[in-house]
Amino acid sequence: MKKKMIIAFFIVIMGILVLGKKYTNEKNIKRAYNITIDLNRGISLNNFFEKLNLNNVFFKIYLKIERDSGRKIKAGHYEFKGNYSYGDLLNILEEGREKYVSLTIPEGYTILEIGELLENKGYGNVKGLNEALKNIKDFPYLTPKGNFQGYLYPETYYFSGEITPEKVVKRMLKEFLIKFPPKDYPDKEIFYKQLIMASILEREAQIATEKPIMASVFYNRLNKGMKLASDATVNFAYDYKKKRMYYKDLKIDSPYNTYMYKGLPPGPIANPDYESVMAAINPSKTKYLFFVATGGGHHTFTKTYREHLEVQKKKK
């Protein structure tokens, strides 16, 4: 009887040693992965691990004994591409090393163009973007008739998880408020007019240093009761589909046609960057009333119409 007990004891010990060795091997083996996966709050860890094919008993033992049952794991959007051991995977999850996707919104894009960009990248569409904007509440700046044009700040953004129009809108508006804190611009009506001007500068000027000078031209024209005569505002009425403006295009009857109507257009024609807004707020002091594009993104500024015509002749 005693001999049988000794044999049974040795069998158990051998079994433990074999399982221990098997366990050690299993936890140290690096397995190949090529998966992007979300771990959102409220989702079962078991379901998450099943998607990673980590539903075996050795991983469960490892998780419970060596990793505190996964209590330090952080929610997020993860990409596993390569070979990982149990420890490698848990290190990434516990440190919250999420996969981030970048999205660049160019300066001067309109809401329509941003929506088309999202659609091209598979992140939504124009309709979704407009719906997301309709759901924005308590925005501290003026949005006449729910128009958020001008407030979607152009920048390169980094997102974890699925990119949606709602996420994009919130991030862009948040960035705008960081760049332009509402407390710093108490007169919201004046700021809105400056934002409209900034949007025109964004579409007209290609060189940042020319923006304050160009702003002075437009303000000088407004002060003299002249029409702004900005091609960019007219092209906005065409959704910027015109690669080049012709005289016949300037006949469109739109409140954004600043060849036809005096004053600023009723709203921004694009989403400007910081430099454009600052130029609209702090224009140069000049007597210029005209400018002509002279190549390489540069413009020649003139005080009189005669000088303006002379510059145009030289271009030809």
What confidence score (pLDDT) does residue 250 get? 93
Distance separating alpha carbons of residues 74 and 77, to the nearest angstrom: 10
| φ/ψ (deg, to 5) at 40 | -95, 155
Residue ranges covered by each domain of the chain: 19-98, 101-182, 186-315
Give the single-character DSSP code of 30: P
Query: What's the average model confidence in pLDDT over 148-153?
Result: 98
pLDDT at 43: 76
In the chain, DSSP assigns E strands to 31-39, 76-84, 100-104, 156-160, 290-295, 298-302
Residue-level pLDDT at 2: 60
Residues 73-87: tens digit of each pLDDT: 888 888 888 898 888
CB 214 within 8 A of CB 201: yes
Distance, in Å, from the CA atom of 240 to the CA atom of 111, rounded to the nearest integer, reads 12
Q: Which fold has domain 19-98?
A: Dna Ligase; domain 1 (3.30.1490)
Query: For 98-139, what is each residue's pLDDT tens digit?
Result: 878 889 999 999 999 999 999 999 999 999 999 999 999 999
DSSP bridge partners of 33: 82
Which range has the worst mean pLDDT, 22-36, 172-186, 196-210, 295-309?
A: 22-36
Q: What is the pLDDT of residue 61?
A: 86
Q: Does residue 10 surpass a pLDDT of 60?
A: no
CB 47 within 8 A of CB 55: no
Q: What is the mean pLDDT of residues 261-288?
A: 97
Mean pLDDT, residues 223-242 taken together: 95
Q: Confidence band (pLDDT; 50, 70, 90) for 15?
A: very low
